[in-house]
Structures are given as structure tokens and as C-alpha cells.
Amino acid sequence: MTSEKKSAGTVGFIGIGTMGREMALNLAKAGFRVAVHDVRPEAAQALAGGGIRAATSIADAARGADVVITMLPDTPDVEAVVYGEAGLLANPPEGRLIVDMSTIAPDAVRRMHADCAKAGVAFIDAPVSGGPVGAKNAALSIMAGGDAAAFEKARPFFAGMGTTITHVGESGAGQTVKLCNQLICGINIQAICEALALGRANGVDLHQLRKVLLGGSAASWMLDKLGPQMIDGDASAGFRIDLMLKDLRLVQQQAQASNVPLPATALVTTQYLDARAHGEGSNGNQALFRVYDRMSGQERG
Ligand code: NAD
């Protein structure tokens, strides 16, 4: 054996967007052969070369693969790729393992897990946290649900994309943990917006405020990573407002189904809706601060 990398295996990767692009590149860097597919063929073609092949269809991406990984926007997208006429159930990967890393509804995940099991295919839900920077640095936190043996089969592939890799339980448990993560992120962004609005109205230098807070008990990933963009009015996308609204919808659906009141989630959802109504859907989550700009008469150009 000349190199451990050579024996690593083959991955079909479907969904070459903000996150998927970086994750597929890291899998190739880790030594896997990767076949990438996207409904936007140009996204797949742009990655071709250096261990990555642009696949022409879902079936082409799955052909000869040990695992197919999906990284798609929402539940119907993953269902279309799994159940579609030319989808993964009709064209399972050779290794009979599907790993969905998108953030989608836990009940849909459990349904796909059961339907795949009937066809002798393992299905793991493995959503991620860490954003585009975590994806680029292969430093994602990966929270996986599903059968333990299938998780172990997926583990080497996870190691090419993330640093914190945890099997959190049965099918759907990965998504439940991710939804807990998302409600904390949304409410944390809201708390930061409120602190910045109060500091600004009282003449405090906001960059200094952020620095001080990062050294104490109010420190957070959001304050660290999104704070500068909030303060500078840079709304450029990373994690889009639209995707957070999708996640907050999933949180609330699961909360209702399990009779858990989440009042803070409900409130922050109305503010995200306000942001989207003002044309911010494609902007990054830091654009929530513009809701506070408006509410406090501090709109910037
Ligand atoms: P994205 O919209 O940038 O990428 C999704 C990609 O999927 C696009 O390239 C799109 O063309 C492709 N696609 C859609 N339907 C398809 C289909 N049927 N077949 C093939 N390709 C299809 O989204 P993203 O930001 O990369 O997020 C992907 C998932 O990861 C979402 O569920 C999101 O909530 C989650 N997530 C995102 C972030 C982030 O910071 N962006 C962080 C953690 C988790």
C-alpha cells in the first residue's frame, strides 16, 4: 500500500452550493474520489479536476460510490433526490449508504430511513454546524442520527469534513440536535442586535463593545463571526435569512408536535419574517440588525 489516501473510497456528492462546494473539495483533499452533481450543472463543472468528477445525473453520481452525500436546501429537495424517478432509491450507491447533511424535518428523515431500509439501503441524517468557514476549514460539527453500524461506515467521510463528529441517536436525532442548535443561533443573533442597538443609541463604539463582550460571559460564536458585519452594515450572504426562516419553521413544527412552547423562537421568527419582507431573504443572518436599524430610526443607506 503506497498511500492510505488511495484506498479511501468513492463519494457521490449532491448539492454543490455554499456548503456542499467546500465539503466536496475537502473530501477530495482527504483523498476520496468524488463525483459531484447539482441541478445547476455549472456548479458541478466548476469543481471538476483534482479527484473530482462532474456527474451528469444523480445515478451517475451514485455509480460505484461507497456513499452518496446530499447537501440540499430543504426537505422537499432531499425527498426529490431520494424518491424521484431517477433518484437514489432507484439508483442506490454501491455501498448502499446515503448520508443527508442538509437541515431538514426529522419526521421526513425517519420516513426516508424506513423506506431506504426496506430497499436494503442505510440512511443517516448528519446535519452540520460551523457555517461556510467551518465547511472550508473541514472543521464542521457533525451531529448524526441513524444505525450505529451505518454511522461507523460514514465516519471516515465525516472526518474529511469536520472535527466534532458525534452519533447522537436513532434516525432523526441528528436533525433534532441541529434544530436545538438553530434556535440558539437565532435567539443569540437577536440578543446581539439588541445589545448593539442599545450601545449605539448611547454613543458607545460598537467594535470596542464587541471586543469587550467577547472577553466575558456574553461571548458567542455569532458575536465573534457576525458582529463585525452587523456593525459595518455588511449583509453579504453566508448563512441566508431564508435558510434560517426554514430552520425556525422546522423548530416550531417539531415544538408543536411535541407540545413544547418556545416563545423566544416565536418572537425572533417574526423579526426574521420582517427582514425577509424588507428584501433581506438572500442576505446573511447578520442582516437581522437592519430590523433594529429600522425600529430605532437608524436606517443606513
Ligand atoms: P445552497 O442553497 O447554497 O446550496 C444548495 C445547492 O443544492 C444549490 O447549489 C442548489 O442548486 C442545489 N440543489 C437544489 N435542489 C437540488 C436537486 N434536486 N438536485 C441537485 N441539486 C440541488 O445552500 P447551503 O447554504 O449550501 O445549505 C445547504 C444545507 O445546509 C441547508 O439545509 C442549510 O440549512 C444547511 N446549512 C447551511 C449552512 C450555511 O451557513 N450556509 C450552515 C449549516 C447548515
CB of 9 sitting under 6 A from ligand 1: no
Query: In which band, very low, low, confident or very high, does the pLDDT at 8 lie, cut at 50, 70 and 90?
Result: confident
Q: Which atom of ligand 1 is nearest to the CA of 84?
A: 18
Q: How confident is the model over 131-188, as pLDDT tens digits?
A: 999 999 999 999 999 999 999 999 999 999 999 999 999 999 999 999 999 999 999 9
More confident residue, 5 or 237: 237
Phi-psi region of 160 (alpha: psi -120 to 50; beta: other; left: phi over 0): alpha
Mean pLDDT within 114-139: 97
Mean pLDDT within 89-106: 98
State the pLDDT at residue 237. 86
Residue-averaged pLDDT of the chain: 96
| Site of grid cell 413544547 | 260
Q: How confident is the model over 181-236, as pLDDT tens digits?
A: 999 999 999 999 999 999 999 999 999 999 999 999 999 999 999 999 999 999 99
State the pLDDT at residue 7. 42
For residues 282 and 68, give the distance between their C-alpha atoms in angstroms, rounded to a whole number: 28
Q: Is the per-residue pLDDT at 107 higher than 80?
A: yes
Q: Which long-range contacts (CB under 8 A, 24 or more apart) does 49-52 make?
A: 52/24, 52/25, 52/28
Give distance in angstroms: CA of 201 to centre of ligand 1. Answer: 37
Q: Is the per-residue pLDDT at 292 higher than 60?
A: yes
Best residue among 18, 60, 178, 180 to mutate for probing ligand 1, ranked by most atoms within 8 Å of CB: 18
Residue-wise over 143-176: b if at least 16 C-beta within 10 A, else e? Answer: bbbbbeebbebbeebbebbbeebebbeebbbbbb
More confident residue, 2 or 72: 72
Helix, strand, coil content of the chain in percent (nearest 5): 50, 15, 35
> Hey, where are the domains in the chain?
10-170, 176-295
Beta strands in 40-95, from DSSP E residues, in sequence order:
52-54, 67-70
Q: Which atom of ligand 1 is nearest to the CA of 21?
A: 26
CB of 20 sitting under 6 A from ligand 1: yes
State the pLDDT at residue 217. 98
CB of 81 sitting under 6 A from ligand 1: yes
Name the residue at shortest CA distance from atom 25 of ligand 1: 18
Mean pLDDT within 83-105: 98
CB of 161 sitting under 6 A from ligand 1: no
Q: How confident is the model over 18-58, as pLDDT tens digits?
A: 999 999 999 999 999 999 999 999 999 999 999 999 999 99
State the pLDDT at residue 4. 43
Cell numbers at 239, concatenated: 448563512
State the pLDDT at residue 2. 40
The DSSP bridge partners found for residue 34 are 11, 52
Where does 10-170 sit in CATH, by number?
A: 3.40.50.720
CB of 51 sitting under 6 A from ligand 1: no
State the pLDDT at residue 141. 98
Where does 176-295 sit in CATH, by number?
A: 1.10.1040.10
